[in-house]
Structures are given as structure tokens and as C-alpha cells.
């Protein structure tokens, strides 16, 4: 079996036992990237030399008997929104084209410390704004299930890299669904940890109060292994939680035994209504039956304020974006369009040329929402909705251990279909946005293929803040049961 088809856990074991060298593992994935990425376009940058150098170091350490982390030598695709001192960091934007950060993000540093081989940086919607990667300044990523379709977004590059077997592990960031929705439409696993669970230091901000880095993989166990590498308190991030990381690996292993008896799974009434593609709906219903079969009690819960989540999100996010992205002004780094005599003119010309339409749209929205006279009506009001949504979650988690919903309302849609219709694009994140507003945890696991188009569907599992263990347990149980019956979701061979 090809090394690229192995899970991260399997590959790590072979590297640790010297059955496979880390260099071989890295090279196999680099070869796969060379083979298929021309069509998939998951990567914006491939760091071949650094990847092989890391792998060689891991091999030396294995040979020397050095104790290494459980994922040492396993290759990984890093979303291009985390700073890397040895590779460019562009966030999918022209304004950062070629920028080499002088420092590593905390996540980057933890990956390196764990001996993980970073293959390169993955494509994304510009500054993580979008649900299709079509808003990348460097061209869209294609869904390995159907190259004419979107891989989701903003982390479409990371999800596509997994689905195309270019990497067994990836890192994404989730502001309103940017890890979970791509996972759903590519048939992979993606986790948005509790806000503050993974350090944001070196994660180029989209919306600071919503952004959260998280693990992406093809199996729940792999995601759990990666979760434990990147999570944990970071003194460089004031919003990072100073509490022990939940034991998600153990939870995933327990879950895989397939017993969920005693657990209550809440179906959020407000996330089960109109607007879902029939095949998505059907897959979700089947998932509920499967959860019951595993011993869980399925209950209905109501979160009445979720209907305002989208509106609140599109006030809070652009407001923070408008401020966070103000720093891109050509004075210190990045693109500089030197037209005009004054600093003000250079700033304006650079931002005009450097930002894409979606980013500009959100900067303008946010600037407006924060303006004097509008603040209370927009930003202030949205923050109140946010509080109400948190209360809805608290009430729901009093009745259920985890909540579930379809991750995204549709399967992967064709490239170009929604790129000029922002509202249609925003609706992709209807079910994922509430968790970001409340700071709770969420994951997407494959729930099968939609009957009408044969494309992957995702099941979203949500858990209270720092409740990742139960979330991973449910996800692993569901995955084990489903793959036992239907087999793992494998994208068609995209290139030969």
C-alpha cells in the first residue's frame, strides 16, 4: 500500500519502528504533490528542502533512540495563515505576496517541536474570508472529488490536500466554519477547538474573537493526535486558556470501541430546518439512527437565537477585520504600490491593489458598523446576540452532552456558482457560525455520500467549552461504525 494512503497514526508507527523512514514518508507525499497538485492546487508553497531536512533529522533521532512525539516524521500541510520563518506567509492575498515572517507561529513551533514534517503552505480564501477558496488571490483549489467543484473554504487547501492524499495531516483555522465546512465537502475530518484552546500567536488574524486554529485529518484519531500537539496554554496569547488540554486521543480510542450508551445527543431544532440539500438531510437522518444504534439517546433541543447568528456574525467579523487588516499599509512589509506623493496615497493605492473584492467588502462593512452613531445599533447589538447564543448553548448542553447538525447545507458546489453572490456564499456557514460566536468546540466527520451527486456530506458534532473529549468520543464511535458498514470515503484518483 502506498505510504500516502496510510493514516497519520499508522505512518507514525512505521516511522517509529523504522519500518519506513521519515524521509521516505516525506518524499512519497512530495511526489504525490508533484503528481496531483497541478490540478488540485492545494498548495501555495511547497518547502521541499526543509521538509526533507526535518525528516532526516527525525530519522537520525529515531536511530539514536531519542524519545519522540507520537507524530514525529509525519508530513503535514499548513494553512498559509500561520507564520513560518522558513517559508512565505501570504494568507492567500496579493498584499502579502512573498512576505517571509521573521518568526514562527506558536502552532508552527509546536509542530516543529513534535518532529512533524511541514510539507508546505496551503491555499485559502484571502485572509480566511470565504467558503470556497475562490477568493484566494492565487487561484482556487479544486475539490479532489470533482475538480470542477469547490473544496470549501476558507481552508479548502488543507482539506483538499488530505482528500487528495497529498498529506495525512493538515492545520486549518475556523472563524465561522473554515475548518469544518471544507472537511464536510471533501469527506475529511476537521476540528474547531474551544476558543482559546489553540494559540493564535502567529495566526494572521481575520476576526480575533472568532478565529481558532485546529487539526484536520482523514480520521478522528489522527485529528486527536494532532490536536494534542498544537493545543495548550501559550503565554504569548492572552486569550489562550490556561487549563489542561482535554485527553482527546484517549477519548477517540475509547469512542472507536463503538459504545455511546449513556450519552445524550441533542439535535438542534433550528439547524435542521429548510435549506438543506435532500442528500445532506438524508445523510444526517441516517447519522442520527446510527448514533442511536451506538447507544446514544437522541433528544431535540432548541436554540432560539441561532437564527440571528448569521446577522451578528456579519457585523462582528467585519468590524474586527476592518481593524485587524488596517496594518497592511505598505509602510513596513508586503506589497507597496508607490503611486502618489504622500503616505496616505501610497497606503490607499496599495490597499486598492492588494486586497480582493471580498476583503474590501468586509473592511467597508466593518468600518461602517463601527462608525460613531452606528456602533450601538450594529456592533453593540451583535455582541448582545452573541451573549444570547452562548446562553442557548448553555441551556442545550444542560440537556445533551453533544449537539449535532449537518455541517454544511449542501455538498460541494461548482466553482464559480456562488462567487458573485456573497449572501449565497455566506449561507454555507449557517450551521457552523454559532459555535464560533459562543467559543465552544465543533467538529465535522464524514457521514457518507449524498445520493443525488455522490459527494461527501459532513456531520457536525458540537461540545461545550473544553468538552472536546466527549466530542472526539462521539466522532470516533460514529466514524468506526460508519466505515465498518460503508468503508472510508476515498476521493476518486484525481490524477495519474
Per rule CB under 8 A, is residue 350 in the interface with another protein?
no
Decide: helix, strand or coil at residue 490. Answer: coil
Stretch that binds another protein, among 44-52, 203-211, 293-301, 440-448 (CB under 8 A): 203-211
Please say if 247 is a catalytic residue: no
Quick one: 228 or 234, whose CB is closer to another protein? 234
The beta-strand segments (E) located in 55-140 are 75-79, 117-122
Q: Taking CB under 8 A as the criterion, which residues in 351-410 touch another protein?
A: 367, 370-372, 375, 379
Tell me: does residue 101 bind another protein (CB under 8 A): yes
By the rule CB under 8 A, 488 interacts with another protein = no
Catalytic residue among 21, 132, 136, 178: 178
Active site residue 390: no
Residues in region 102-121 near another protein by CB under 8 A: 102-103, 105
Residue 352 vs residues 278, 340, 361, 365, 478: alpha-carbon distances, Å: 42, 13, 12, 16, 47
Q: Which of 220, 186, 190 is nearest to 456 (CA)?
A: 186
Q: Which helix (H) or strand (E) holds 191?
A: strand 189-192
User: Which set of grid coordinates corresponds to residue 180?
Assistant: 469544518
Q: Is 79 tagged catalytic?
A: yes
Determine, following the binding rule CB under 8 A, whether residue 220 of this chain makes contact with another protein: no
Q: Which of 79, 121, 192, 418 is catalytic?
A: 79
Residue 465 sits in the site that holds another protein (CB under 8 A) = no
Residue 205 binds to another protein (criterion: CB under 8 A): yes
The site that binds another protein (CB under 8 A) totals a number of residues, namely 45
Q: Tell me how far apart the alpha carbons of residues 386 and 313 are, in angstroms, rounded to a whole number.
A: 8
Does residue number 302 form part of the binding site for another protein (CB under 8 A)?
no
| Contact between residue 84 and residue 130 where contact means Cβ atoms under 8 Å apart | no
User: Which among 8-16, 88-96, 386-394, 396-404 is the span making contact with another protein, rule CB under 8 A?
Assistant: 88-96
Among 186, 319, 428, 435, binds another protein (CB under 8 A): 319
Q: Which is nearer to another protein, 73 or 439 (CB)?
A: 439
Place of cell 482523514: 218
The Cα 378–Cα 358 span in angstroms is 20
Phi, psi of 201 (to 5 degrees): -65, 120
- Residue of 169, 174, 167, 222 whose CA lies nearest to 197: 174
Is residue 159 within 8 Å of residue 132, measured between CB atoms? no
When the beta carbons of 363 and 470 are compared against another protein, the nearer one is 363
| Residue 34 binds another protein (CB under 8 A) | no
89 binding another protein? (CB under 8 A): yes
Contacts for 380 with CB less than 8 Å, ≥ 6 apart: none
Q: Are strands 117-122 and 297-301 parallel, antiparallel or unpaired?
A: unpaired
Catalytic site residues? 79, 154, 178
Which chain residues interact with another protein by CB under 8 A? 82-83, 89, 91, 96, 99, 101-103, 105, 200-205, 207-209, 235-239, 319-320, 322-323, 326-329, 331-333, 342-344, 347, 367, 370-372, 375, 379
Amino acid at each position: 500500500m502506498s505510504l500516502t494512503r496510510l493514516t497519520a497514526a499508522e505512518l507514525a508507527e512505521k516511522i517509529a519502528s523504522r519500518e519506513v523512514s521519515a524521509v521516505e514518508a516525506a518524499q512519497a507525499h512530495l511526489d504525490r504533490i508533484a503528481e496531483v497538485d497541478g490540478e488540485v492546487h492545494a498548495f501555495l508553497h511547497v518547502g521541499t528542502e526543509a521538509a526533507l531536512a526535518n525528516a532526516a533529522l527525525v530519522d537520525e533521532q529515531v536511530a539514536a533512540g531519542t524519545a519522540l512525539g507520537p507524530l514525529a516524521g509525519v508530513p503535514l500541510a499548513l494553512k498559509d495563515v500561520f507564520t513560518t520563518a522558513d517559508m512565505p506567509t501570504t494568507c492567500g492575498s496579493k498584499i502579502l505576496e512573498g512576505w517571509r515572517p521573521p518568526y514562527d507561529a506558536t502552532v508552527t513551533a509546536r509542530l516543529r517541536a513534535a518532529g512533524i514534517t511541514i510539507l508546505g503552505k496551503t491555499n485559502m480564501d484571502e485572509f480566511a474570508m470565504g467558503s470556497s477558496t475562490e477568493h484566494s488571490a492565487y487561484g482556487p483549489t479544486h475539490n479532489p472529488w470533482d475538480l470542477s467543484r469547490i473544496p470549501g473554504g476558507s481552508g479548502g487547501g488543507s482539506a483538499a490536500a488530505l482528500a487528495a492524499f497529498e498529506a495525512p495531516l493538515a492545520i486549518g483555522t475556523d472563524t465561522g466554519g473554515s475548518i469544518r465546512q471544507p472537511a464536510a465537502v471533501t469527506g475529511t475530518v476537521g476540528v474547531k477547538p474551544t476558543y482559546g484552546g489553540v494559540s493564535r500567536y502567529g495566526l494572521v488574524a481575520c476576526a480575533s474573537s472568532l478565529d481558532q486554529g485546529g487539526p484536520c485529518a482523514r480520521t478522528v484519531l489522527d485529528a486527536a493526535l494532532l490536536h494534542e500537539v498544537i493545543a495548550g496554554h501559550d503565554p504569548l496569547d492572552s486569550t489562550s486558556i490556561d487549563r489542561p488540554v482535554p485527553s482527546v486521543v484517549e477519548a477517540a480510542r475509547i469512542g472507536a470501541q463503538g459504545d455511546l450508551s449513556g450519552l445524550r445527543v441533542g439535535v438542534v431544532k433550528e439547524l435542521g430546518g429548510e435549506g438543506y440539500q435532500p442528500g445532506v438531510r438524508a445523510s444526517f437522518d441516517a447519522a442520527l439512527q446510527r448514533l442511536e444504534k451506538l447507544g446514544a439517546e437522541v433528544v431535540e433541543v432548541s436554540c432560539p437565537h441561532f437564527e440571528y447568528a448569521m446577522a451578528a456574525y456579519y457585523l462582528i467579523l467585519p468590524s474586527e477585520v476592518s481593524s485587524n487588516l488596517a496594518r497592511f499599509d505598505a509602510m513596513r512589509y508586503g506589497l507597496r504600490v508607490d503611486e502618489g506623493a504622500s503616505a496616505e496615497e501610497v497606503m490607499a493605492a496599495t490597499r486598492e491593489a492588494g486586497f480582493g473584492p471580498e476583503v474590501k467588502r468586509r473592511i467597508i462593512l466593518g468600518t461602517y458598523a463601527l462608525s460613531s452613531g452606528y456602533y450601538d445599533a450594529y456592533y453593540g447589538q451583535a455582541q448582545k446576540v452573541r451573549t444570547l447564543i452562548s446562553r442557548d448553548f448553555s441551556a442545550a448542553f444542560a440537556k445533551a452532552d453533544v449537539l449535532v447538525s449537518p455541517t454544511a447545507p449542501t455538498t460541494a458546489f461548482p466553482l464559480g456558482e456562488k462567487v458573485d453572490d456573497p449572501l449565497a456564499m455566506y449561507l454555507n456557514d449557517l450551521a457552523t457560525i454559532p459555535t464560533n460566536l459562543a467559543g465552544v468546540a465543533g467538529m465535522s466527520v464524514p457521514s457518507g455520500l449524498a445520493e443525488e451527486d455522490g459527494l461527501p456530506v459532513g456531520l457536525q458534532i458540537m461540545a461545550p467549552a473544553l468538552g472536546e473529549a466527549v466530542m472526539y468520543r462521539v466522532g470516533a464511535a460514529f466514524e468506526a461504525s460508519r466505515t465498518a458498514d460503508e468503508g472510508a470515503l476515498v476521493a476518486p484518483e484525481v490524477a495519474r
